[in-house]
């Protein structure tokens, strides 16, 4: 080449997403015939409800649905999200201006950061927490300020420690309850404290809430707290609770002004979602209690039992009160470091389990097992692990 090209400076601040790199390695191993069982990513392996798929198929064959759609999402989907929030969380949202459908809630993290945070301003990010909060904030020039979540404090924010911090330049605080990766459930008391903290320090609290239905009999929303919409934004997703990860449909809810600002960003980035998918998503949001009981509770309860056996086999400690799509456990002190353990599991047993360090330094002594794997493969993973010798050196 006659000219040397260089990437943008911002790429020096981030790495390729861990799962992107690891899945390529697993694909190579599978191509070699090693048949890796992946207990890594939280991608539900069951289909959406039958009515959801029928609605997609019925509408996709129409001739008048293939054009660009409204940036704000179609009314049918916005109304369905509002009805969903009223039914399950008892939260009243104006479908016209307090809800914005998204191409997955991961997209929303980008849009919210662009809408509220200037380069050099600060965002509070949980440690451990979803890596995208950190990576997107960094890519956009924000300063990431980690706040500690520890097992000793029940993986909840230490509000006393937060109050000791200089918060004068903080614009956003990312929260995620029910929490990923630790499975700590949301409580109304936690949400009340977060809302009060946000109002006191003029910080926007963004609660990422995709796991509230998984292994959880009482789903909660931060927007249930009186006055929460004044300073809070909630992301929600159909990926986990409705078995639609590849559909890329989520939503953001808040006050009308915040939604307007987010739409200003979004409308300059994408052109909306396929109309039949939006209609099908609206149908999925009407899934009844029996569907959620079967898909989000009974199914994962059986898988969780096997995941707990894997944790026990690995001499890991875990909290039985966890909710969500994963099981989080502390590795034994005999293990030098977590990746030493997970790499042995991958290359000796051909079982991929996520090392907790990817979620932050406070996850360095933990592993995470995904429940998005059928019982046959979970049982096989347990069997393989029982048959290998795990080195602690």
**Cβ neighbours of residue 179 closer than 8 Å, sequence gap 6 or more:** 126, 129, 149, 155, 185, 211, 324
Q: For the segment 210-261, what is each residue's pLDDT rounded down to a tens digit?
A: 999 999 999 999 999 999 999 999 999 999 999 999 999 999 999 999 999 9
What pLDDT sits at residue 393?
Answer: 67
The stretch 350-368 carries a mean pLDDT of: 96
Into which CATH architecture does domain 10-47+290-386 fall?
Alpha-Beta Complex (3.90)
Into which CATH architecture does domain 64-287 fall?
3-Layer(aba) Sandwich (3.40)
**Least confident piece of the model among 14-23, 53-62, 146-155:** 14-23
What pLDDT sits at residue 17?
Answer: 75
**pLDDT for 41 beyond 90:** no
The stretch 281-293 carries a mean pLDDT of: 98
| DSSP tag of 325 | S
Does residue 335 sit in helix, strand or coil?
coil
Q: Is the pTM for the entire model greater than 0.85?
A: yes
Mean pLDDT score across all residues of the chain: 95
The residue extents of the domains of the chain are 10-47+290-386, 64-287
What pLDDT sits at residue 392?
Answer: 80
Buried b (16+ CB within 10 A) or exposed e, 271-290: ebbbbbbbbbbbbbbebeee
**pLDDT for 74 beyond 50:** yes
**pLDDT for 185 beyond 60:** yes
- Grade residue 1 by pLDDT with cuts at 50, 70 and 90: very low
Residue 240, token pair as written in the block = 């986990």
Percent of the chain at pLDDT above 90?
91
Backbone angles phi, psi at 251, to 5 degrees: -160, 160
| DSSP tag of 95 | T
**pLDDT for 44 beyond 60:** yes
What pLDDT sits at residue 391?
Answer: 87
**pLDDT for 385 beyond 80:** yes
**pLDDT for 22 beyond 90:** no
**Contact predicate 127/146, CB 8 Å:** yes
**pLDDT for 94 beyond 80:** yes
**Cβ neighbours of residue 319 closer than 8 Å, sequence gap 6 or more:** 182, 183, 328
- Grade residue 271 by pLDDT with cuts at 50, 70 and 90: confident
């Amino acid at each position: 080449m006659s000219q040397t090209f260089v990437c943008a400076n911002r790429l020096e601040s981030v790495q390729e997403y861990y799962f992107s790199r690891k899945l390529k390695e697993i694909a190579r191993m599978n191509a070699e015939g090693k048949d890796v069982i992946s207990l890594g990513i939280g991608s539900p392996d069951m289909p959406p409800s039958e009515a959801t798929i029928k609605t997609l198929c019925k509408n996709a064959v129409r001739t008048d649905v293939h054009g660009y759609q409204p940036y704000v999402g179609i009314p049918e989907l916005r109304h369905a999200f509002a009805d969903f929030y009223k039914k399950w969380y008892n939260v009243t949202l104006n479908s016209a201006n307090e809800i914005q459908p998204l191409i997955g809630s991961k997209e929303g993290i980008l849009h919210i950061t662009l809408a509220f945070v200037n380069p050099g301003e600060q965002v509070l990010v949980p440690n451990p927490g979803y890596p995208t909060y950190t990576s997107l904030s960094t890519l956009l020039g924000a300063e990431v300020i980690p706040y500690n979540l520890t097992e000793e404090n029940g993986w909840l924010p230490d509000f006393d420690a937060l109050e000791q911090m200089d918060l004068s330049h903080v614009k956003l605080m990312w929260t995620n309850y029910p929490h990923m990766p630790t499975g700590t459930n949301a409580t109304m008391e936690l949400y009340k404290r977060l809302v009060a903290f946000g109002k006191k320090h003029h910080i926007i609290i963004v609660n990422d809430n995709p796991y509230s239905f998984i292994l959880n009999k009482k789903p909660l929303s931060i927007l249930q707290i009186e006055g929460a919409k004044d300073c809070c934004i909630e992301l929600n997703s159909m990926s986990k609770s409705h078995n639609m990860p590849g559909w890329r449909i989520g939503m953001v809810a808040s006050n009308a002004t915040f939604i307007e600002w987010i739409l200003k960003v979004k409308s300059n980035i994408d052109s909306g979602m396929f109309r039949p998918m939006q209609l099908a998503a609206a149908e999925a949001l009407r899934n009844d209690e029996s569907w959620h009981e079967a898909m989000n509770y009974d199914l994962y309860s059986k898988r969780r039992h096997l995941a707990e056996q894997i944790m026990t086999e690995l001499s890991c400690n875990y909290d039985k009160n966890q909710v969500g799509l994963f099981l989080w456990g502390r590795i034994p002190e005999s293990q030098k470091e977590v990746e030493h353990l997970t790499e042995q599991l991958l290359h000796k047993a051909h079982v991929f389990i996520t090392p907790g360090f990817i979620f932050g330094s406070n996850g360095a002594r933990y592993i995470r097992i995904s429940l998005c794997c059928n019982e046959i493969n979970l049982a096989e993973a347990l069997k393989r692990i029982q048959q290998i010798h795990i080195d602690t050196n």
